[in-house]
Amino acid sequence: MLDRANTLLRRIPAWGLYLVAPVPVIWIYLLGLTGELGVDPAKRIEHQLGLWSLWLLIAGLAVTPLRRFAGLNLLRFRRAIGVITFFYILAHLLTWLVLDVQFQGVWADIVKRWYITVGMAGFVLMIPLVATSNDWSLRKLGSVTWRKLHRLVYPIAILGALHFLLLTKGFQWEPLLYALVIAGLLLSRTRRRHSRPNRVAA
């Protein structure tokens, strides 16, 4: 079954994800424009884009564990997932900046509100990742340096989970569950590195 699934996945071009990715963003904005999102559509759009961004972060982190533990090979899609994640986070940020606060008191909010500070830190860390998510950067940086740089996705995921936890009022299970999922995925990566046998130099 898995062999058949992996064979099917190999036939799907990674660039197809870039074609599909804008559809939910366009759809949520159309719902806002047509009055389908209630009295505060900007907040609804902002929240939904943030949630989708978190899903994409989790999807990117899950690629390696799925391959290792389940045998499902999604590795060829990981770079596209990362780039799409950045643009969803950018759309989330721009919605807050343009439709929510309307460029008023932006710096004060970043400094005073911890969830915004954490969210902005995660966004800034994503910039070098999306800028180097191409074959040219991989060749220029070298595979070792490139991989080390792209490990920034781990603190980015932690900041994303923390951002959701901090902005939630009162105790809610949803942000806590996302934080636990991200912690589990990061732990699986840490255990994998520690379980590798040390190589003895020839």
pLDDT by 10s per residue, the chain, length 202? 788 888 888 888 999 999 999 999 999 999 999 999 999 999 999 999 999 999 999 999 999 999 988 899 999 999 999 999 999 999 999 999 999 888 888 999 999 999 999 999 999 999 999 999 999 999 999 999 999 999 999 999 999 999 999 998 888 899 999 999 999 999 987 765 555 554 433 2
Q: Which domain holds residue 64?
A: 2-194
Report pLDDT for 202.
29
71 within a domain of the structure (yes/no): yes
Give me the pLDDT at residue 196, please. 54
How many domains does the chain fold into?
1
pLDDT at 77 (0 to 100): 95
The whole-number pLDDT of residue 14 equals 92
Residue pair 164/50 in contact (Cβ under 8 Å)? The answer is yes
8 A C-beta contact, residue 121 and residue 161: no
19, 102, 184, 201 from 95: Cα distances, Å: 21, 9, 30, 53
pTM score, whole prediction: 0.90
Has residue 199 been placed in a domain?
A: no
Closest residue by Cα to residue 54 from 102, 9, 118: 118
Q: Show the tokens assigned to 104.
A: 């008023």
Q: Select from 54, 123, 118, 113 the least CA-distant residue to 93.
A: 123
182 with 160: CB under 8 angstroms?
Answer: yes
Tokens 């939630």 sit on residue: 168
Q: Which residue bears the tokens 């047509």?
A: 34
What is the rounded distance in angstroms from the CA atom of residue 60 to the CA atom of residue 36?
31
Provide the H-helix boundaries in 66-150. 78-94, 106-112, 114-131, 135-141, 143-150
* Residue 201 within a domain: no
